[in-house]
Structure 1
């Protein structure tokens, strides 16, 4: 403690003994200014993934457009459109067999009067109702997958991939057995 106080007093005494002229000031030497090229111009946008997910939630495929992945747009619409088509088709088939069964219960003739029994109509209703419900799950799954894809893609666009880091396949021959051994090599170059 004594050495610390003595050292501080000694350094103050040295600064007081330096003669200074009027109007002169002492400046500390600082690091040279860093240029803009030293920093990456692509800054991390923390709201980018949230924006992409929000856009895809509002309009399916808009998050992929926001990310610049235009090639994913047909895939998104094909997935949502196909699953929606199957939902509508199964729902229509369910209603068709249900209406036929209701007509049969009231004593009217339906389109399946000579073809299907009452039990066949009940089984068809169960089958198409199950398929309709499953199709609805696929529609919701495709919609959610669209949102997740936009979010993950926006995160990965901001991932810094440096030329100094590489993962390369590697093949070495074992000199004792003569067999080739395959593997991966993770390399990091220090500048």
Structure 2
């Protein structure tokens, strides 16, 4: 009987000490991480929240500079080719517009010495001016659109370069069996490991 009492008392003391220890651990306050200390993985660089804004600013100042800042040098010729094509078509449509406008002004003045006299009527000169004016405006819109796309590309690329892609985030197919019917259930699981 003494041995049973000693064993029960020892077991009770172990349980009580285990509970007390668990309570001490649960009440312990973990120190907070400083806000300015970067979160580092083994293979990643510290997060720089100003990198996307800086890349967009560089691209706004000089097209292609944001791509150079991001290290994507192969995009620089594409940006300049797009801008160059837009400027080329604006200049070409402007020259054609001026030719048809000068011919129309010449006809309004009563002269018959313009380059289109005899081949194009006055109403067709007006239509041609409207066509080339519209093409000039479209060229301006395309050029501005490519310029804005250059800025957005630099910003998005800078954001995505800081995106954490490692093994802690995974998408895996998973197959479960239904316990009632015994048939498999197919699906995908998205796993986050913190």
Question: What TM-score, normalized to structure 1?
Answer: 0.69
Residue 155 (structure 2) pairs with residue 151 (structure 1): yes
Instruction: Give the counterpart of 1:54 among 42, 57, 61.
Output: 57
User: What do you get for the CA RMSD once the two structures are aligned?
Assistant: 2.6
In structure 1, runs of 5+ residues without a counterpart are: 1-29, 32-37, 173-182
Distance of aligned partners of 1:165 and 1:136 in 2 relative to their CA distance in 1, 3 Å threshold: same
Change (3 A) 1:161 1:115: same
**Pairwise CA distance, 1:160:** 1.0
With the length of structure 2 as denominator, give the TM-score of the two structures: 0.68
Cα distance in 2 for residues equivalent to 1:61 and 1:147: 9
Secondary structure of 1:111's aligned partner: coil
Q: Is the 8 A contact 1:53 1:151 kept in 2?
A: yes
Q: Does the alignment pair 1:102 with 2:114?
A: no
Q: Deviations over 1:76-134 (max 9, x none)?
A: 11111111111111111111100111111112210000110000100000010011111
In 1, the alpha carbon distance for the partners of 2:77 and 2:171 equals 32
Partner of 2:74: 71
Query: How many residues are aligned here?
Result: 146
Q: 2:128 aligned with 1:124, yes or no?
A: yes
2:40/2:46 contact within 8 Å kept: no
Q: 1:160 aligns with which of 160, 164, 168?
A: 164
Corresponding residue for residue 40 of structure 2: 39
CA contact (8 A) 1:167 1:184 kept: no
Q: Secondary structure at the match of 1:43?
A: coil
